[in-house]
């Protein structure tokens, strides 16, 4: 098989089916209870995705999910009709003659049979839609320029972009094998097994040269041993040579490159000097607890929204003192204190109990213990729980503080004690409710020290890979951060703040527990459970408490929008700051804009919305200031997503589909310095138009990963350098994990996070962006909006994108598959990247994160372990794995036993399966004569002229036309004469065959071969739907560079009609010839190709992502495909098979047009279109002709199942009996539809259909018949 010429690749996409792309009407969307991904909602993006999908809309070719095109991996010698295993009697003499003249050259005995397959078909092929996702990416090269001695290196190369012109020399898959191949046999390069009749009088040397038996076999064996290279050391057998085998990805020469000046370090405003600023956070607590004991500190709400308790500063101080005293003095083991200053203590409190958490946190600080807040474990097998256990173990935690209610809810062992969770250290659980705390003695006073570099608390963070680390924050950093937040947000004493976030970590902790105490603020804490019941609760509390500041996520704003119609009397006029904690998520802008649109009429001022950017390592990085605090006007940037994938910033002024709109996250924090550095390798400063990782130098950042010195140095002690390699500062910087750039007015823009980054073929994609695109394909009927996970998995040393979503229980497999196909198309259009796997799992089966949403790393782990248990999978490896390995070179002296042992030692299972061995054709004139299908047809016309090959049925079940060997030959001759005389075509010209399914299509195909032209079969346009079906015909004709169109008179008139002129430019059609009335002229001579590698035909098909591509099929590959199907299905002239498939591409084309000529069997042709008027046509024909083997498509099977479900009794009365069917093969175009095949088998069991008869063929665009039952 030859590669696809770049010119045979459709640059523009084939329009998709209208059913698959009709955008659902926008309706009020119900809120998912644990949706975290509403922040990805963007109406603009949704419209862009719908527009991208609309490009597919007019298509009338088969479903855009056909990833198929002819490609067969077989050696050149397998091409002949006469076959040893299934030839009929009339071929016997020829078969015997072929065997007698066989040449007995043998392969080296140690060369494994699978090497044969490596030569027959290289695995470097990639699908047509593969490199299209990566413009300019280097495709796997086809070895069609190799010398004649390597003719078997006929490979597939489905290049997918017209920009690709130059590529490096193709791999020579026969390197290292030449010594086993006879130098006088240019057509044969495969290694054969010993033929029958092998004689001991013929031996072979190590070079494969036959020697006479007079040489002693022992001497010969010695010679062979001496000729072998020295055996390599044992360890070399186990070395994975994958990296050197992989195709090297070449960078796109046209990719955008940064052109701006280098951006220097940016300094924030200086921290202001406050005269009465306390020397530490504990000093502030002591001040307020003693001087303002009745001032409210924190109000907790229940799930109905009622205030259940207000903690005053006096109570917080006294209860924290009690706890500190109890922890240090009342907990003992063997008369020794259980805890000493500096020990780590776990805080285990639910999201609904901020009061007890606050007491525990400050109690630990007063006792000079280090609190480690974690989530409440609900079961022994919580997602990520084992990693939390690892963190606790590495921190040396022995004590966990909790409440009485929380402890009662923890899983218990039979002894009544809290169970030891998987991976956790043994813990003592201490309940801190009032009755368990001791009152401090009068002489005991805590030491309230000034802020120092000692650790204050440890915040946990889960990385992209799922590992959990503890980030240490010192007392000095904690104080400096409170100081910086107070200045940036303009906090003042006694202000009221509404906090919707998790108070245990990140912004919820920094604003709602630490900075609030520093400034004696009153915090209204909104529990997550209340937000689920009443998404407006936080707005109601802002209104009732006249809160000045609210800290929320974009998710909370979106939920409020969905519920806001229920409330008319709320006012947000009291707010001076609405801090959006996840402002660093680029998709938060849509929630912010929509929220402002709705609530501006209720007192919300535009300047109040303040997105901020933060990370666990660097704490708050930047925050937008309201104008009264001196902040510049907000900024917005519309960026090209394609350029962003190369790390380059390009503002997109046009209304393009693939753009990312981002808002600024304000200016950097007071007292901080910031720079942007390259993501990979040495931290060089980025240019002004380059995306990099934001790094911060400040006294208000985390200090280390607890106990992990190696990664601490890399993250917390980065030294950014200039292009000349000079350090930008003598102070280390902290990497934030945020990807972004600095815009006008020194505003910071964030476009993604390092944790969500997926680098595919050298381009960077953000998981959040891909989620947003999937959500824009109106998923409401099929999946849950908030339950979508996107991550990457390594395959062949490169990231591959995986998308997993929870399927709604009421969504059918068929509907879900349509949605999945459209998601693939959308991601391909918007991001120009392929998706490796799209999986749907049953509802509520994905691991949950502690506060809603999906636990991404745990989901990824289950995917890698094969434990996801999906109910729907769409794998597209061919669209994204474009760096397939070159064929492996076998060590000649490593035998099969060594291979197996080597793989066992290396812990690898050999992932390969082999079909039955195709007995090789020997090199003789008789055999070479049948290398070409045109020769086979002529031979059949001479030897068995009246043997029937084809029988076409119409919708009434009567015979519409037939063709015997001689009839087909004569019709083909007439077509060839017409092509030469009327069409004036030359050898090698491409001809489009636009015919309905029938014998005409077959005759014109062979007519083209007789004339030396290259045929392309094209589905005719539908007369009632020209507007959507004719453009596809036009595109195939243009992309294939067809010099002529052969068709019927009726279709020719249609192509030139006024209706056609409205859909396409009919003046640009090439020559159109009708074949209805052709002169009966005899062809002077049939064209015979000069080489089996010459092009036989082009196979055009459409991929799942809607890309049209033509696969070049050589004569050698065509014969190989026919031969393997003949052997597998045991086809010979006395056989009859029934085919109910479309004959335009892939396996349907091969069975309809090629196999009968090659194998000589009679094909009963049933056009699938005829079933629309007579649904029982196919099954009746199978019964009438007592067919043993039949092929159909899923659509045919579905039509029969639905249309004949209630008519089995009627069919039985009509005499339909399917007991004759030994094999009914359904051609799986996109996926195995198990439910459908089971229903079909069960339904027609009553008509005698054996349950074991129905099977599925498996193939792909690269190889249409990988498996054939």
Residue 1225 lies in a domain: yes
Strands (E), 262-343: 266-267, 296-301, 307-312, 332-333, 336-337
User: Where a domain ends, among 549, 579, 604?
Assistant: 604
d(Cα 149, Cα 192) in Å, to the nearest integer? 16
**Residue in the structure block whose two tokens are 């005293």:** 325
Please identify which residue in the block is written with the tokens 């937040």: 485
User: Using H for helix, E for strand and C for coil, what is the string for 143-159?
Assistant: CCCCCHHHHHHCCCCEC
Taking the C-alpha atoms of residue 1118 and residue 74, their distance in angstroms, rounded to an integer, is: 9
Same domain, 952 and 1038: yes
Specify if 829 maps to a domain. yes
- Give yes or no: residues 1246 and 1103 share one domain: no
Q: State residue 785's pLDDT score.
A: 80
CA angle 1107, 1110, 1113 (to 5 degrees): 150
Say whether both 794 and 876 belong to one domain.
yes
47's enclosing H/E stretch is helix 43-54
- Examine the domain organization and report whether 1094 and 1199 are in the same domain: no
Residue 992 lies in a domain: yes
The closest alpha carbon to 522, from 502, 539, 542, 537, belongs to 542
Sign of the alpha-carbon torsion through 220, 221, 222, 228? positive
Residue with tokens 């595919």: 760
Assess whether 1226 and 1144 both reside in one domain.
no
pLDDT at 434: 80
CATH code, domain with 1127: 3.40.50.12780
* Res 918: pLDDT: 65
- pLDDT, position 786: 81
Q: What are phi and psi of 77, to 5 degrees?
A: -85, 0
Residues 1241 and 1094 in one domain: no
CB 781 within 8 A of CB 811: yes
Tell me if 383 is assigned to some domain.
no
pLDDT along the chain (1269 residues), means of 10: 53 43 41 46 68 56 36 36 37 39 39 36 35 38 37 34 36 35 37 37 40 63 71 55 61 87 93 86 97 97 95 97 94 81 96 96 97 91 85 96 94 90 93 89 89 96 90 98 96 96 96 98 96 93 96 92 76 96 91 93 94 97 90 89 93 78 95 96 94 97 94 94 93 97 94 93 92 86 87 90 94 88 91 93 90 87 92 84 68 60 60 66 49 92 95 95 96 94 93 96 97 96 90 93 95 93 92 88 88 94 79 92 90 94 94 94 96 94 95 94 91 93 88 87 93 88 81
DSSP sequence for 843-893: TT-SPBPTTSSB-HHHHHHHHHHT----SEEEE-HHHH---PBPPPPPPTT
Task: Tell me how far apart the alpha carbons of residues 1116 and 632 are, in angstroms, rounded to a whole number.
Answer: 70
CA nearest 1181: which of 1018, 952, 1011? 952
**Together in a domain, 994 and 1132:** yes
Say if 413 falls within a structural domain: no
Global confidence as pTM: 0.74
Other residues' Cβ atoms within 10 Å of the Cβ of residue 677: 23
Residue 272 belongs to some domain of the structure: no
User: Which of 561, 502, 554 is CA-nearest to residue 535?
Assistant: 561
| Collapsed DSSP state (helix, strand, coil) of residue 742 | strand
* Distance between CA atoms of residues 692 and 689, nearest Å: 10
Q: Please report, for the chain, how many H helices and E strands are present, in that order.
A: 39, 46
Check whether residue 1107 and residue 1222 sit in a common domain: no
Give the pair of three-digit tokens for residue 639: 């960026």
- Give dist(CA 1142, CA 61) in Å, integer: 11
**Element (DSSP H or E) covering residue 1162:** strand 1162-1165
Q: What is the dihedral angle through the alpha carbons of 510, 515, 521, 526, rounded to the nearest 10 degrees? A: 0
CATH code, 816: 3.30.300.30
Burial class (CB in 10 A: 0-12, 13-18, 19+), 270: exposed
DSSP string, 465-495: TS-EEEEEEEHHHHHHHHHHHHHHHT--TT-
Domain boundary among 1148, 1170, 1192: 1170
Tokens of 570: 């709320």
Looking only at the bridges linking them, the beta strands covering 202-204 and 210-212 are antiparallel
**Cβ neighbours of residue 1267 under 8 Å, at least 6 residues apart?**
1257, 1258, 1259
Which of 1181, 1188, 1187 lies closest to 1167 in space, CA to CA?
1181
Q: Phi first, then psi: what are they for 1045, rounded to 5°?
A: -120, 125
d(CA 815, CA 808): 11
204 and 223 inside one domain: yes
Query: What's the distance, CA 29 to chain centroid?
Result: 27
User: In 3D, which of 5, 213, 190 has the Cα closest to residue 105?
Assistant: 190
Picking from 1149, 1170, 1191, the residue at the C-terminal end of a domain is 1170
Report the C-alpha gap between 982 and 1044 in whole angstroms.
Answer: 10
243 burial level (CB within 10 Å; 0-12, 13-18, 19+): exposed
What distance, in Å, lies between the first and last C-alpha atoms of the chain?
Answer: 23
From CA 871, how far away is CA 877, in angstroms rounded? 19
C-alpha to C-alpha distance for 23 and 26, rounded to whole angstroms: 8
Range of the domain at 785: 6-32+49-54+761-880
Q: What is the number of structural domains in the chain?
A: 5
The answer on 1124 and 992 residing in a single domain is: yes
Q: Are residues 158 and 15 in the same domain?
A: no
Q: Is residue 91 part of a domain?
A: yes
How far apart, in Å, are the Cα atoms of 1111 and each of 73, 556, 796, 825, 835? 14, 51, 25, 21, 22
* Three-state helix/strand/coil letters over 987-1052: CCCEEEEECCCCHHHHHHHHHHHHHCCEEEEECCCCHHHHHHHHHHHHHHHHHCCEEEEEECHHHH
Question: For residue 432, is it within any domain?
Answer: no
Do residue 1132 and residue 1244 come from a single domain? no
């Amino acid at each position: 098989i030859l590669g696809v010429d770049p010119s045979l690749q459709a640059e523009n996409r084939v329009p998709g089916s209208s059913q698959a792309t009709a955008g659902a009407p926008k309706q009020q969307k119900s809120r998912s209870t644990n949706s975290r991904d509403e922040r990805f909602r963007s109406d603009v993006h949704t419209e862009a995705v719908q527009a991208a999908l609309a490009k597919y809309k007019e298509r009338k070719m088969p479903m855009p999910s056909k990833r198929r095109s002819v490609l067969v991996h077989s050696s050149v010698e397998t091409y002949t009709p006469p076959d040893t295993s299934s030839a009929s009697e009339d071929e016997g003499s020829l078969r015997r003659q072929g065997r007698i003249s066989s040449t007995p050259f043998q392969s080296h005995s140690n060369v494994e049979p699978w090497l044969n397959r490596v030569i027959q078909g290289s695995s470097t092929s990639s699908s047509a839609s593969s490199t299209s996702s990566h413009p300019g990416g280097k495709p796997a090269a086809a070895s069609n320029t190799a010398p004649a001695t390597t003719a078997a290196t006929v490979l597939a190369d489905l290049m997918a972009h017209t920009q690709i012109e130059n590529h490096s020399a193709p791999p020579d898959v026969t390197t290292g094998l030449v010594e086993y191949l006879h130098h006088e046999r240019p057509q044969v390069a495969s290694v054969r097994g010993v033929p029958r009749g092998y004689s001991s009088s013929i031996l072979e040397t190590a070079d494969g040269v036959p020697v006479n038996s007079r040489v002693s076999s022992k001497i010969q064996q010695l010679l062979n041993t001496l000729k072998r290279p020295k055996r390599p050391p044992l360890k070399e057998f186990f070395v994975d040579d994958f990296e050197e085998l992989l195709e090297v990805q070449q960078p796109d020469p046209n990719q955008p490159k940064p052109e701006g000046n280098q951006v220097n370090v940016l300094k924030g405003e200086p921290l202001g000097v406050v005269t009465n600023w306390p020397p530490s956070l504990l000093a502030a607590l002591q001040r307020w607890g003693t001087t303002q004991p009745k001032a409210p500190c924190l109000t907790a709400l229940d799930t109905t929204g009622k205030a259940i308790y207000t903690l005053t500063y006096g109570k917080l101080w006294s209860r924290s003192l009690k706890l500190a005293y109890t922890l240090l003095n009342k907990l003992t083991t063997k008369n020794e204190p259980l805890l000493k200053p500096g020990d780590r203590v776990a805080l285990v409190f639910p999201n609904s109990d901020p009061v007890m958490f606050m007491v525990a946190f400050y109690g630990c600080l007063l006792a000079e213990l280090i609190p480690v807040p974690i989530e409440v474990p609900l079961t022994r097998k919580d997602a990520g729980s084992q990693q939390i256990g690892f963190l606790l173990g590495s921190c040396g935690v022995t004590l966990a503080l909790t409440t009485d209610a929380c402890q009662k809810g923890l899983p218990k062992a039979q002894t009544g004690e809290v169970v030891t969770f998987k991976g956790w250290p043994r813990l003592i659980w201490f309940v801190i409710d009032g009755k368990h705390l001791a009152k401090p003695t009068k002489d005991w006073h805590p030491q309230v020290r000034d802020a120092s570099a000692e650790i204050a608390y440890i915040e946990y963070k889960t990385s992209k890979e799922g590992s959990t680390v503890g980030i240490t924050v010192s007392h000095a950093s904690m104080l400096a951060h409170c100081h910086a937040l107070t200045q940036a947000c303009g906090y003042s004493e006694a202000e009221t703040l509404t906090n919707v976030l998790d108070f245990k970590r990140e912004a919820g902790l920094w604003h709602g527990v630490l900075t609030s105490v520093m400034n004696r603020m009153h915090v209204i804490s909104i529990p997550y459970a209340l937000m689920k019941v009443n998404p407006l609760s936080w707005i109601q509390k802002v209104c009732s408490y006249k809160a000045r500041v609210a800290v929320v996520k974009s998710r909370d704003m979106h939920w409020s929008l969905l519920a806001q119609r229920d409330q008319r009397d709320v006012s947000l006029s009291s707010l001076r700051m609405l801090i959006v904690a996840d402002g660093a998520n680029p998709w938060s802008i849509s929630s912010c804009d929509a929220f402002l649109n709705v609530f501006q009429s209720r007192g919300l001022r535009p300047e109040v919305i303040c997105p901020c950017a933060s990370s666990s390592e660097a704490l708050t990085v930047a925050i937008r200031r309201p104008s009264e605090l001196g902040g510049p006007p907000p900024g917005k940037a519309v960026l090209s997503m394609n350029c962003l994938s190369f790390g380059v910033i390009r503002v997109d002024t046009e209304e393009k589909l693939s753009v990312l709109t981002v808002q600024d996250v304000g200016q950097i924090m007071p007292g901080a310095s910031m720079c942007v550095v390259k993501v990979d390798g040495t931290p060089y400063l980025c240019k002004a138009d380059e995306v990099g990782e934001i790094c911060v130098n400040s006294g208000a950042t985390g200090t280390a990963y607890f106990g992990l010195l190696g990664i601490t140095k890399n993250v917390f002690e980065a030294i950014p350098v200039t292009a000349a390699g000079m350090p930008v500062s003598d102070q280390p910087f902290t990497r934030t994990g945020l990807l972004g750039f600095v815009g006008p007015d020194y505003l910071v823009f964030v476009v993604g996070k390092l944790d969500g980054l997926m680098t595919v073929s050298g381009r960077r994609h953000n998981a959040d962006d891909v989620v947003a695109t999937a959500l824009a394909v109106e998923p409401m009927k099929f999946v849950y909006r908030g339950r979508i996970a996107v991550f990457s998995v390594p395959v062949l040393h490169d990231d591959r994108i995986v998308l997993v979503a929870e399927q709604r229980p009421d969504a059918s497999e068929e509907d879900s598959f349509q949605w999945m196909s459209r998601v693939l198309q959308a991601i391909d259009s918007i991001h120009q990247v392929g998706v490796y796997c799209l999986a749907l799992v049953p509802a509520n089966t994905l691991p949950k994160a502690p506060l809603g949403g999906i636990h991404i790393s745990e989901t990824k782990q289950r995917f890698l372990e094969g434990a996801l248990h999906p109910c729907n999978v769409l794998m597209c490896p061919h669209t994204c794995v474009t760096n397939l390995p070159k064929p492996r070179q076998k060590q000649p002296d490593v035998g099969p036993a060594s291979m197996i042992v080597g793989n066992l030692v290396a812990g690898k299972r050999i992932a390969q399966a082999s079909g039955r061995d195709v007995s090789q054709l020997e090199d003789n004139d008789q055999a070479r004569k049948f290398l070409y299908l045109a020769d086979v047809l002529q031979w059949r016309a001479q030897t068995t002229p009246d043997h029937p090959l084809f029988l076409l049925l119409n919708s009434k079940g009567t015979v519409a036309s037939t063709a015997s060997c001689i009839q087909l030959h004569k019709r083909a001759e007439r077509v060839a004469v017409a092509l030469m005389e009327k069409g004036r075509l030359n050898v090698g010209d491409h001809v489009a065959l636009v015919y309905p399914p029938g014998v005409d299509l077959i005759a014109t195909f062979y007519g083209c071969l007789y004339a030396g032209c290259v045929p392309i079969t094209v589905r005719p346009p539908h007369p009632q739907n020209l507007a959507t079906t004719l453009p596809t015909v036009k595109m195939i004709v243009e992309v294939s560079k067809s010099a002529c169109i052969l068709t019927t008179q009726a279709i020719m008139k249609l192509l030139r009609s006024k209706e056609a002129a409205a859909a396409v430019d009919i003046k640009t059609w090439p020559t159109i010839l009708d074949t209805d009335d052709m002169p009966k002229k005899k062809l002077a001579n049939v064209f015979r190709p000069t080489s089996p590698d010459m092009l036989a035909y082009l196979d055009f098909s459409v991929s799942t992502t809607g890309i049209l591509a033509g696969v070049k099929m050589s004569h050698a590959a065509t014969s190989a495909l026919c031969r393997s199907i003949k052997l597998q299905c045991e086809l010979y002239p006395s056989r009859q098979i029934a085919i109910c498939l479309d004959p335009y591409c892939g396996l349907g084309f091969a069975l309809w047009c090629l196999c009968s000529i090659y194998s000589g069997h009679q094909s009963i042709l049933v056009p699938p279109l005829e079933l629309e008027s007579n649904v029982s046509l196919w099954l009746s024909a199978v019964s009438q002709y007592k067919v043993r083997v039949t092929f159909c498509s899923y659509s045919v099977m579905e039509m029969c199942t639905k249309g004949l479900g209630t008519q089995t009794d009627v069919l039985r009365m009509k005499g339909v009996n399917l007991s004759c069917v030994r094999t009914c093969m359904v051609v799986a175009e996109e996926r195995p539809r198990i439910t459908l095949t089971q229903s079909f088998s069960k339904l027609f069991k009553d008509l005698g259909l054996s349950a074991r008869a129905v099977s599925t063929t498996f193939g792909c665009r690269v190889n249409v018949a990988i498996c054939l039952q």
